């Protein structure tokens, strides 16, 4: 892959440009902890994220959605390859001091509101710690500022002195959101923010995220395995399979005419709340292969209905099939020729 | 101080008093339960309708905790007909799981007790009330007649035993009379094949950690179906799984149900899954059934404001909406339930009588009932009914 690597140049309209990003985790084995292989958690992911929009990232568990989110934020050590440009700045070229500054601009909301809040800190401190640490507001205005942030996220000022265990799941997720927003970020990675919540609470949190996006012109990377939620909140959607993006495009395009067979199968598996809905479901056989030892060629070929001979040997290329609609599949090999 | 009381604050003294009181109550129940040689007549009953596999009749299951009595299930009645699937929907803490655990009699005792009501289990020629059945008899019913698929396949399997041993144990305990070890082994492998595990002999020798989530759920299903039970309780069997695996498991459950003609009580909070699986739907809220009916009744003519809210708050693929409906407020504290309709404080369709006591069940059609004042006829139903 390194041979045909071309670095991208910064384009003003994109807050985030990810180019062939790779993140491998070594597998240690043997007596002396030798590296015996790699788990290719993220294996060449490319997308551009426009300012003020939401990108949904969907896929089965273990396909590398979360690792992608964390790698973009430089939260899981060094990347293995590729580029992450945030506002034109390569995130991995920054010194520790510069990175610290950038941290206020990129935030993350974690999946599990039960384990991502320190049980020993009162809520006001959880939300305010980073604000004080980065010196974002003068000490005199600090309390007012925290009250203001909490109010925006639907928390009452008297909640400030309470501890996380006194809150329900939905409230805790609000605290997590307030913590991320207190730093006035431009870009927020939402890592399955609603999966641990009940349906009625889910709706509250989704509405809150949308409101805050409008107020603060936020850009979200919304990671979720719940496709209906992703369709509701996202402007663009990326579908991941085994460390690769297999399809990326505008939400409407992806949901109305998915190109990749995996996307099709994934969407046909969504249960529809209508007892008489007749669906011709594509039931994928087997489960997702191990990312430590992915199949040769197209990684999806072991489960694909439309598998051809070439799929087993050569990996398909990532290309723009329609304007703004990317896909990596041999089914569209000839399309490229007509476009190019 | 008054403010603290509302938060559920208890003084140590108050807490001690409650726990003494609880001990007195639970000891009485436990004594009743631990008698030996209970005559069969005491727990034999008759089904209201012989076509039902299970009838829940006004079930009350309470938990006597040191903070007060939690009415986890507070007057639940519904039927599970033979060969049908009944879906139970509701948010966490609404009593879905406790209802199913009451049927299995696997409640955390002594705190958890069935204090009132009956659960009638159809055994063909006779019927038992499982709430009164002594433990030795229940041991034979569990696994053979009723069995349960648990929510988390990761925790439902024992990590230190091989898959094969764990399935063998089920067969040996419930259905193993006169079977040799070889026969049991053969049956286990047959079960693994039945749930769609290709490498059944290999998986037989594996440990749970070697399997993926979907495979583990298949093993748990194989264990539950080992003795061809009449009633299967599936407690959120697909919640921990991906959509593609979920589709596989739902397919499998449907096929297997038809093959052994059993009834399924399907517990989930996912309305999409319910629509796909269930013939009848029961909607629970805060320990009570607020609405029940056929799947068509519930999905096409939802009547209770909670059901309507639940449907509106879930985004549906292909339907564009700007803002999701969200039910305001939260579930009331289970220790201090109000004495009016439990949903009133969150309800946006209130009518005047809502301030009165908890509404009783109203029949909208032969199959469809709802507990809501908006459907009381003859009474002054002013408002937006």
In this predicted structure, the answer to whether residue B379 has a pLDDT above a threshold of 80 is: no
On whether any CB of chain B is under 8 Å from the CB of A162, the answer is no
Average pLDDT, chain A: 87
pLDDT tens across A183-194, in order? 999 999 999 888
Q: What is the structure's pLDDT at B166?
A: 93
ipTM of the complex: 0.79
Taking alpha carbons only, the member of A286, A239, A289 closest to residue A261 is: A239
Q: How confident is the model at residue A212 (pLDDT cuts 50, 70, 90)?
A: very high
Question: Which residues of B touch chain A, with CB atoms under 8 Å apart?
Answer: 91-92, 212-215, 242-248, 250-251, 269-276, 278, 295-296, 299, 309-311, 313-318, 321, 323-327, 330
Q: What is the structure's pLDDT at A336?
A: 52
pLDDT tens across B17-59, in order? 999 999 999 999 999 888 888 888 889 999 999 999 999 999 9
- Asked if A60 lies within 8 A of B244 by C-beta distance, the reply is yes
- Asked if B324 lies within 8 A of A284 by C-beta distance, the reply is no
pLDDT tens across B75-86, in order? 999 999 999 999
Partners of residue A39 on adjacent β-strands: A25
Which residue out of B324, B332, B346 would a mutagenesis test of the A interface target, given it has the greatest number of A Cβ atoms within 10 Å?
B324
Is residue B298 helix, strand or coil?
A: helix
Q: Which residue of B has its CA nearest to A171?
A: B330
How far apart are the C-alpha atoms of A108 and A223, rounded to whole Å? Answer: 11
The beta-carbon neighbor of B311 closest among A225, A255, A273 is A273
Q: How confident is the model at residue B182 (pLDDT cuts 50, 70, 90)?
A: very high
Task: Check residues A338 and B250 and name the one with the higher pLDDT.
Answer: B250
Q: Report phi then psi at B163, rounded to 5.
A: -55, -45
Maximum C-alpha span of chain A: 69
- Asked if A168 lies within 8 A of B273 by C-beta distance, the reply is no
Q: What is the structure's pLDDT at B6?
A: 52
Mean pLDDT of A143-147: 92
Task: Check residues B283 and B8 and name the one with the higher pLDDT.
Answer: B283
On whether any CB of chain B is under 8 Å from the CB of A214, the answer is no
Nearest-CA distance A274 → chain B (Å): 5
Would you say B263 and B121 are in contact if contact means Cβ atoms under 8 Å apart?
no
How is residue B148 written in tokens?
A: 């349960």
In this predicted structure, the answer to whether residue A42 has a pLDDT above a threshold of 80 is: yes
Q: Compute how many other C-beta atoms are within 10 angstroms of the C-beta atom of residue B364.
A: 16
Mean pLDDT of B195-224: 88
Would you say B264 and B253 are in contact if contact means Cβ atoms under 8 Å apart?
yes
- Asked if A283 lies within 8 A of B91 by C-beta distance, the reply is no
The beta-carbon neighbor of B91 closest among A199, A266, A284 is A199
Residue B284: list chain A partners with CB under 8 A: none
In this predicted structure, the answer to whether residue B349 has a pLDDT above a threshold of 70 is: yes
Cα–Cα separations (whole angstroms), residue A313 to A1, A44, A118, A295, B81: 16, 18, 49, 9, 53
User: pLDDT exceeding 70 applies to what percent of chain B?
Assistant: 96
Q: Which residue of A has its CA nearest to B7?
A: A166
Poorest-pLDDT segment among A1-15, A27-41, B265-279: A1-15
Q: Which residue of B has its CA nearest to A290?
A: B212
Q: Which residue of A has its CA nearest to B247?
A: A269
In this predicted structure, the answer to whether residue B158 has a pLDDT above a threshold of 60 is: yes
For residue B5, give the DSSP letter.
H
- 104-143 of A, contacting B, C-beta below 8 A: none
Question: Residue B71: CB partners within 8 Å, gap ≥ 6?
Answer: B60, B62, B287, B334, B337
In this predicted structure, the answer to whether residue B7 has a pLDDT above a threshold of 70 is: no
The beta-carbon neighbor of A168 closest among B250, B318, B330 is B330
Cα–Cα separations (whole angstroms), residue A214 to A211, A217, A251, A297: 5, 5, 19, 42
Q: What is the structure's pLDDT at A157?
A: 86
- Asked if A231 lies within 8 A of B317 by C-beta distance, the reply is yes
- Asked if A275 lies within 8 A of B278 by C-beta distance, the reply is yes
Q: What is the structure's pLDDT at B15?
A: 86
Residue B315: list chain A partners with CB under 8 A: 206, 228-229, 231-232
In this predicted structure, the answer to whether residue A3 has a pLDDT above a threshold of 70 is: no
On whether any CB of chain B is under 8 Å from the CB of A7, the answer is no
How far apart are the C-alpha atoms of B264 and B266, rounded to whole Å? Answer: 6
How is residue B277 written in tokens?
A: 């699986």
Mean pLDDT of A211-230: 91
Partners of residue B281 on adjacent β-strands: B87, B293
- Asked if B246 lies within 8 A of A269 by C-beta distance, the reply is yes
Residue B154: list chain A partners with CB under 8 A: none
Q: What is the structure's pLDDT at B355?
A: 86
In this predicted structure, the answer to whether residue A210 has a pLDDT above a threshold of 90 is: yes
Element (H, E) at B243: helix B243-260
Residue A268: list chain B partners with CB under 8 A: 247
Burial of A132 per CB tally in 10 Å (0-12, 13-18, 19+): middle
Continuous H helices in A41-163: 65-72, 96-103, 123-134, 142-152
In this predicted structure, the answer to whether residue A2 has a pLDDT above a threshold of 50 is: no
On whether any CB of chain B is under 8 Å from the CB of A103, the answer is no
Nearest-CA distance B43 → chain A (Å): 38
């Amino acid at each position: 892959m390194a041979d045909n690597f071309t670095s991208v140049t910064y384009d003003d309209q994109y807050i985030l440009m990810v180019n062939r990003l790779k993140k491998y985790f070594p597998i240690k084995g043997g007596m002396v902890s030798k590296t015996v292989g790699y788990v290719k958690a993220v294996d060449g992911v490319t997308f551009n994220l426009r300012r003020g929009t939401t990108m949904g990232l969907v896929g089965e568990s273990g396909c590398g959605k979360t690792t992608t989110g964390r790698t973009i934020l430089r939260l899981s050590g060094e990347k293995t390859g590729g580029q992450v440009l945030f506002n034109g700045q390569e995130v991995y070229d920054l010194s520790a001091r510069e990175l610290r500054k950038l941290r206020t601009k990129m935030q993350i909301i974690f999946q599990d509101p039960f384990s991502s809040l320190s049980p020993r800190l009162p809520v006001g401190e959880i939300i305010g710690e980073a604000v004080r640490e980065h010196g974002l507001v003068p000490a005199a205005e600090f309390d007012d500022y925290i009250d203001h942030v909490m109010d925006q996220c639907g928390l009452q000022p008297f909640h400030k002195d309470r501890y996380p265990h006194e809150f329900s799941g939905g409230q805790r997720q609000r605290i997590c959101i307030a913590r991320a927003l207190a730093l006035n970020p431009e870009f927020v990675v939402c890592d399955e923010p609603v999966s641990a919540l009940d349906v009625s609470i889910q709706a509250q949190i989704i509405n809150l995220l949308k409101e805050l996006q409008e107020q603060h012109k936020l850009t979200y990377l919304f990671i979720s395995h719940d496709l209906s939620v992703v369709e509701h909140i996202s402007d663009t959607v990326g579908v991941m399979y085994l460390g690769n993006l297999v399809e990326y495009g505008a939400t409407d395009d992806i949901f109305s005419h998915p190109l990749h067979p995996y996307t099709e199968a994934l969407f046909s598996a969504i249960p529809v709340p209508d007892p008489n809905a007749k669906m011709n479901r594509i039931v994928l056989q087997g489960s997702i292969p191990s990312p430590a030892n992915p199949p040769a060629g197209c990684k999806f070929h072991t489960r694909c209905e439309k598998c051809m001979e070439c799929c087993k040997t050569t990996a398909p290329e990532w290309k723009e099939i329609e304007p703004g609609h990317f896909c990596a599949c041999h089914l569209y090999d000839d399309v490229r020729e007509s476009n190019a | 101080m008054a403010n603290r009381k509302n938060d559920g604050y208890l003084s140590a003294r108050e807490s001690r008093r409650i726990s003494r009181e609880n001990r007195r109550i639970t000891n009485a129940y436990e004594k009743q339960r631990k008698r030996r040689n209970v005559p069969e007549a005491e727990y034999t009953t008759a089904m209201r309708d012989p076509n039902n596999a299970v009838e829940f009749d006004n079930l009350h299951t309470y938990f006597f905790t040191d903070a007060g009595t939690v009415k986890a299930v507070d007057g639940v009645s519904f039927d599970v007909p033979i060969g049908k699937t009944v879906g139970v929907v509701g948010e966490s803490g609404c009593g879905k799981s406790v209802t199913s655990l009451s049927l299995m009699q696997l409640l955390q005792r002594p705190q958890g007790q069935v204090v009132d009501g009956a659960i009638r289990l159809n055994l063909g020629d006779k019927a038992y009330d499982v709430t009164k059945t002594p433990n030795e008899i229940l041991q034979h019913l569990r696994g053979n007649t009723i069995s349960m698929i648990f929510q988390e396949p990761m925790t439902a399997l024992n990590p230190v035993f091989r898959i094969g041993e764990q399935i063998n144990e089920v067969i040996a305990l419930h259905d193993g009379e006169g079977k040799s070890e070889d026969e049991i082994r053969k049956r286990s492998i047959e079960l693994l094949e039945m749930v769609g595990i290709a490498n059944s002999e290999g998986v037989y020798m594996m440990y749970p950690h070697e399997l993926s989530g979907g495979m583990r759920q298949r093993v748990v299903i194989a264990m539950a179906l080992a003795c061809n039970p009449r009633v299967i309780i599936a407690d959120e069997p697909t919640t921990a799984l991906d959509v593609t695996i979920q589709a596989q498991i739902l397919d499998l459950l449907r096929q297997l149900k038809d093959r052994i003609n059993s009834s399924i009580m399907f517990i989930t909070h996912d309305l999409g899954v319910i629509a796909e699986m269930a013939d009848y739907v029961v909607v629970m809220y805060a320990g009570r059934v607020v609405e029940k009916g056929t799947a068509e009744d519930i999905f096409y003519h939802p009547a209770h404001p909670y059901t309507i809210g639940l449907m509106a708050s879930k985004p549906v693929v292909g339907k564009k909406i700007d803002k999701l409906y969200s039910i305001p407020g939260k579930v009331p504290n289970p220790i201090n339930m109000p004495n009016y309709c439990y949903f009133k404080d969150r309800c946006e369709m209130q009518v005047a009588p809502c301030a009165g006591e908890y509404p009783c069940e109203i029949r909208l059609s032969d199959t469809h009932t709802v507990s809501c004042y908006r459907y009381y006829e003859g009474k002054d139903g002013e408002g937006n009914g």
